[in-house]
Amino acid sequence: MIIIDVKPEESIDRALKRYKRKHRAIGVIKELRSRKHFTKKSINRRNQIINAAYRMKKFATA
């Protein structure tokens, strides 16, 4: 559960913005989407290798 302490002088818009930022940071939506369908460990590992190769290629030339 995400807990946001709202300070007395803080507006509700600012507190809502902090809540959304914290929600994104812990990856709730990403976790829900990944749990929607089961993927085998071998496929997860293959995707990690492919993504790592892509990042190496992209940032090595920069």
pLDDT for 62: 57
User: Is 19:6 a contact under the CB 8 Å cutoff?
Assistant: no
pLDDT for 20: 92
pLDDT for 52: 96
Local structure of residue 4 (DSSP, 8 states): -
User: Is 2:26 a contact under the CB 8 Å cutoff?
Assistant: yes
pLDDT for 40: 95
pLDDT for 9: 93
User: Is 19:4 a contact under the CB 8 Å cutoff?
Assistant: yes
Sign of CA dihedral 34, 35, 38, 44: positive
Q: pLDDT tens, position by position, for the chain (62 residues)?
A: 788 899 899 999 999 999 999 999 998 888 999 899 999 999 999 999 999 999 999 988 65
